[in-house]
Amino acid sequence: MSQIETVLKETREFAPSQEFVARANLQPSEYQRVFAEAARNPIQFWEGAARNIDWFQPWQKTFEWKEPHAKWFVGGQLNASYNCLDRHLKTDTKNKLALIWEGEDGHTTRLTYQELFERVCQLANAMESKLDLRAGDFAAIYMPLVPEAVVTMLACARIGVTHSVIFAGFSAHAVRDRINDARCKVVFTADETYRKGQPLNLISIVRQAVAECPGVQHTVVLTRNASTHLSGREVAYQAISEAQPKTHTAKPIDAEHPLFVLYTSGTTGKPKGILHTTGGYLTGVNQTARWVFDLKPNDIYWCTADIGWITGHSYVVYGILSLGMTSLIYEGVLNHPHPGRIWEIADRHKVTILYTAPTAIRSFMRAGEEHPNKYPMASLRLLGTVGEPINPEAWIWYQQTIGKGRCPIVDTWWQTETGGIMISPIPGVVPTKPGSATKPFPGILADIVDENGKSCGPNEGGYLVIKHPWPSMARTILGDPDRFRDAYWTRFPGMYFTGDGAHKDAQGYFWIKGRVDDVINVSGHRLGTMEIESALVSHPSVAEAAVVGPPDELKGQSIVAFVIPKDIANLTDLSALEQSLKRHVANEIGAIARPDRILLTRTLPKTRSGKIMRRLLKDFAAGKTTSGDTTTLENPNLVDLIK
């Protein structure tokens, strides 16, 4: 366990205020009982949670398990779109805001539940009558964070079409591979989005991708620029939905019907299509949103994540709308056109709950507290973080400077694969410690184990595992069930392996350290080192490449690539090659994967069996001398840098 050292020595503890506790959705008096009962019988606990969802047909069997494939609420029928829309139209929620959208230029759109419902119905009608989409089909969504993107997700769910949202920052190659992997019939996109005041063309990327996607029958384009010209199989989003009826009967969908696929990085080059189904997923995100965000009817909730990531799926769309809450979305950069933009938005829209990433918090901390101090943000009552470990310093800054000491902080640990929050404080109940995600959610049996799968003692570093299936867990990797088993269920028999290292303290609080595999976490986004390596070696001048993610103060981890060029003897312009490699990776995967540093080298440290010793490269990139064992090295000369 030498890689997993227990270094944190954080002892501060914060209890929620009396005022917060008095109104909390889950009361301290109930918590012990709920937690203990859920641990004894998680299936019964989740069955209770599923009763908060509207079902067209009750389930016959709560849980079926053939490791590693779970089924929850077998035989039940429901509709995720119905649960996010129709059921609220029977109450006052009908006229409440479902979405508040703000564009980078300050424009806002507000949609009530009734209005959102009508838009979703129109698009669902168009999908059936104009696009020939049916339950069982897959559709790709490559859209900026606009209301129409949420409408498209909910319209797919309404008719049983499985959506695959692809973050609108991925390159044409990445988009093409994802579309083809899921055999998407239709792609939804927009002609452009705006970043830092500049238009960014999306449709050209989609066009380039779709040219190599034989299965795509239509591209539906939200046109925002009057001069965009559509051709061939492209149709305007507005044109197909406008004339459609504003009602539509949601289709009853089997609980285990796939709601969406979402691609995420793993330890090999190919991204994994994580498949989530309907009943269990909705149950999980609804229950966790209710307790972790302690949502109340008057809350204005803002999660800054894009819908291209799991956080956007679960806690911008499905968890939040299924509870009838108001969800704010912002299409733009959080520090544009000024460093306090995020606080300005929170203040103007009277946001009560803010959920963002540690990377963002660290960068705002660095920008200085004079920016948040310009905005009272008096409405804020709860703050959350997700995506990577938060360092205690940033946690305290968030709590003091943004929360003014009055808002509990929920540091939520979870993954694309888990669907919903797994380890997090329940804010009225669990005292927080800066840097700790605290305790597992009721019904989640998390533990930390050693190499042999044996539970670790207090403060002993080990591997984070989940010991009982839960409803919102991924069902498989699309088209590759073997990889699903290998990646998560073979390392520790009978347990789900998260890929994260962690320890528990004497009070049973979980402290997550980060990945123990070849996945790096840059600004809260997971990237596989192999994925970037395959992109690098596809460049004509590259013979071999190894990518590591040394710690970075701001981004969590940075991307450093060690590259052996092919024709070393004739290399003249090193910096031109470096630039070309960076561009190439951005082109193959997307700008998020662009290496921060490229180190051109003649050799890479390898074991005698030919495995690259990444640990050494990581130490090297971080400027550390290597302390670990190097006796298995084939070439004792670590890296022979050209430059």
Residues that bind ligand WTA (CB under 6 A): 264, 309-311, 386-389, 411-416, 437, 498-500, 512, 514-515, 521, 526
Cβ atoms of 144 and 190 within 8 Å: the answer is: yes
* Least distance to ligand WTA, CB of residue 514, Å: 5
* Least distance to ligand WTA, CB of residue 1, Å: 18
Q: Measure the CA–CA gap between 64 and 561, rounded to whole angstroms.
A: 44
Residue closer to ligand WTA by CB (options 10, 54) is 10
* Least distance to ligand WTA, CB of residue 561, Å: 21
* Dihedral angle sign, alpha carbons of residues 148, 149, 155, 158: negative
Q: Which residue is nearest to ligand WTA (CB)?
A: 416
264-285 core/surface letters (b: 16 or more CB in 10 A; e: else): bbbbbbbbbbbbbbbbbbbbbb
CA distances from 170 to 167, 402, 592 (A): 6, 32, 8
Residue closer to ligand WTA by CB (options 119, 526) is 526
Residue closer to ligand WTA by CB (options 16, 271) is 271
Residue closer to ligand WTA by CB (options 291, 562) is 291
Q: Write out the H or E segment, with its range, that includes residue 579.
A: helix 574-588
Cβ atoms of 500 and 515 within 8 Å: the answer is: yes
Q: 103-110 long-range contacts, Cβ below 8 Å, gap at least 24?
A: 103/194, 103/330, 103/331, 103/332, 104/194, 104/195, 104/196, 104/197, 104/330, 104/331, 104/332, 104/333, 104/336, 105/194, 105/197, 109/147
* Least distance to ligand WTA, CB of residue 527, Å: 10
Residue closer to ligand WTA by CB (options 343, 511) is 511
* Least distance to ligand WTA, CB of residue 609, Å: 28
Tokens of residue 46, six digits: 């989740």
Q: Measure the CA–CA gap between 409 and 112, rounded to whole angstroms.
A: 29
- Strand stretches in 450-596, DSSP E: 462-466, 476-477, 496-504, 510-515, 519-522, 525-528, 542-548, 551-552, 556-557, 560-565
Residue closer to ligand WTA by CB (options 114, 267) is 267
CA distances from 352 to 421, 449, 501, 568, 627 (A): 20, 38, 33, 58, 47
Residue closer to ligand WTA by CB (options 162, 472) is 472
* Least distance to ligand WTA, CB of residue 89, Å: 31
Q: Write out the H or E segment, with its range, that includes residue 361.
A: helix 358-367
Residue closer to ligand WTA by CB (options 512, 545) is 512
* Least distance to ligand WTA, CB of residue 478, Å: 16
* Least distance to ligand WTA, CB of residue 450, Å: 19
Q: Please, how many CA atoms are within 13 Å of residue 229, restricted to the half-sphere of its CB?
A: 1
Q: Measure the CA–CA gap between 121 and 159, rounded to whole angstroms.
A: 10
Q: Measure the CA–CA gap between 239 and 20, rounded to whole angstroms.
A: 48
* Least distance to ligand WTA, CB of residue 405, Å: 21
* Least distance to ligand WTA, CB of residue 311, Å: 5
Phi, psi of 347 (to 5 degrees): -70, -45
Residue closer to ligand WTA by CB (options 234, 411) is 411
Residue closer to ligand WTA by CB (options 203, 361) is 361
* Least distance to ligand WTA, CB of residue 519, Å: 8
Residue closer to ligand WTA by CB (options 347, 500) is 500
